[in-house]
Amino acid sequence: MENLNMVDFLKLGLLMFLPLLLWNCNSENAPDCFQNAGTISRETVVVPNFTKITVYENVQLTIKEGAVTKVEVETGKYLRNEVSITVEEGRLLLRDTNSCNFTRKYGITHVYVTVPNITEIRSSTGLAINSEGVLSFPNLDLISESFNDPEAKFTSGEFNLELDSEKVSIVSNGLSYFNLRGKATSFNIMFAAGDSRLEAELFLADNISVNHRGSNDMRINPQASLKGVLRGTGDVVSFNRPTEVAVEQLYKGRLIFME
HSE, CB side, 13 Å, CA atoms: give it for residue 222.
Answer: 27
Rg (CA), the chain: 23
Helix/strand/coil for 240: coil
Residue 165, pLDDT > 50, answer yes
Looking only at the bridges linking them, the beta strands covering 120-123 and 139-144 are: parallel
Mean predicted confidence (pLDDT) in 202-228: 99
Average pLDDT of the chain, as a whole number: 88
Please, what are the domains in the chain? 2-257 (2.160.20.120)
Mean pLDDT in residue range 169-190: 98
Question: What average pLDDT does range 1-23 have in this prediction?
Answer: 52
Where residue 155 falls among pLDDT bands split at 50, 70, 90?
A: confident
Region 162-182: mean pLDDT is 98
Among residues of the chain, what percentage have pLDDT more than 70? 83
Cα maximum dimension of the chain: 88
Provide the pLDDT for residue 197.
98
